[in-house]
Structure 1
């Protein structure tokens, strides 16, 4: 294994440190040398997924308005600014309630990223959005809730598939993740050199 550096791992049985050499990594296992242990530790090769996979994806998820399931808003990879302003990445309708709209012009930010370890997209929600002119983060007037829990001003949270967030306390949306097919993922799998932090 070219370029392998001798490293230490914790034995999975006794917890004491074991020195792993290139020959051990190539073999894929190492026996604990401590007196009274002798447990065989399986050394797993690490892998990740090439993030270039995102360039071939047909979609990046969508939001469905719970007040009208026909209203669907597609998401893009990266930062999605949600609000009623035409400058938003996802321009929402001005939903009126007793003559008033509770969604801010730039209400919240939903960022879509790729997790190279799981091979799936992740969705991060934050109240407010960056004002491009002032280069400051402006928060919404009426707040953002995820599954009925209010987001704190500086909080960024992961939204699970099917998660519901409410803007302004009134208008709710369901997030549908785009799930990357396993057959496609397999073509973007990248084997890494032995990772000492990964043992079975």
Structure 2
């Protein structure tokens, strides 16, 4: 026997908070009791995906160097520090251009996270990386771009599948997402009585 916990939602018409009880959830709707409103709020049935799905994934995406498609760098779940240092999660070659390498030792951070609502991985890119002391964020010397647009120092952006990440203004990489198969997703689906953040 499941125990229903009362929840507050915003009325779709007046915007004021109303309490959803077990009977409302079973019926699938609730009438706003605020004076002068009376709107019927339909409660959307919803679901999310169990985050434990990431434990069984064979891969988490990869970066492919556009200068040589044979150079492929696999990603891990969580924070990936990208640079030329041997302490980086994704250690890049020192690509030389007229005797210079434009990629910093700890150039950028690409974080792979799981979105429990869509059931897919998300990729967040940021210039620079947190120092080994875990306290200070050091930015790259020559900057990071996503699809030719420079990232601001404190900016964290989502990278779409096949997005082009350029480090130091010279060396570019294509990000390939790992797409979780729908058959696998179905086994990690968690049904919700209703989604309190979404009313119709």
Instruction: Flag whether TM exceeds 0.5 (same fold).
Output: yes
Partner SS, residue 59 of structure 1: coil
Distance 2:165 2:115 in 1: 22
CA separation in 1, counterparts of 2:154 and 2:9? 39
How far off is 1:173 after superposition?
0.5
Measured in 1, the distance between the counterparts of 2:73 and 2:67 equals 13
Shift of 1:99: 0.9
Contact 1:7 1:21 in 2 (8 A): no
CA distance in structure 2 between the aligned counterparts of 1:130 and 1:32, rounded to whole angstroms: 48
1:182 aligns with 2:182: yes
In the alignment, which residue of structure 2 is the partner of 1:71?
71
Q: Are the equivalent residues in 1 in contact too, given 2:6–2:19 (CA < 8 A)?
A: no
Partners of 2:117 and 2:180 lie apart in 1 by 13
Structure 1: segments with no counterpart, 5+ residues: none
Task: State the partner residue of 1:84.
Answer: 84
Moved more, 15-24 or 146-155: 15-24
Q: Residue 106 of structure 2: SS of its match in structure 1?
A: coil
- 3-state DSSP of counterpart to 2:44: strand
Q: Describe the SS at the equivalent of 1:141.
A: coil
Q: Secondary structure at the match of 2:184?
A: helix
5 Å-filtered alignment, 1:130-169, equals 130-133=130-133, 135-169=135-169
Question: Which whole-Å deviations, capped at 9, do the CAs of 1:131-178 have from their partners, x for residues lacking one?
Answer: 214742111111111111111111111111111111000000010100
Q: 4+ residue runs of structure 1 moved beyond 3 angstroms?
A: 6-9, 14-21, 30-41
* Alpha-carbon distance, 1:197 to partner: 2.4
Number of aligned positions between the proteins = 198
1:199 aligns with 199
TM-score (normalizing by structure 1): 0.88
Q: Deviations over 1:18-46 (max 9, x none)?
A: 65432121021345678998765431123
Moved more, 39-48 or 15-24: 15-24
Instruction: Report the alpha carbon displacement of residue 77 of structure 1 after superposing the two structures with TM.
Output: 0.5
> Could you tell me how far apart the structure 1 residues matched to 2:74 and 2:81 are?
12
Q: Which residue of 2 aligns with 1:21?
A: 21
Paired residue secondary structure (1:52): helix
Q: Distance in 2 between matches of 1:107 and 1:19?
A: 49
Query: What corresponds to 2:4 in structure 1?
Result: 3
Q: 123-132 or 186-195, which moves further after superposition?
A: 186-195
Tell me the TM-score normalized by structure 2.
0.88
Query: Per the alignment, do residues 118 and 33 of structure 1 end up closer, same or farther by CA in structure 2, a change over 3 Å counting?
Result: same
Aligned partners of 1:134 and 1:36: how far apart in 2?
54
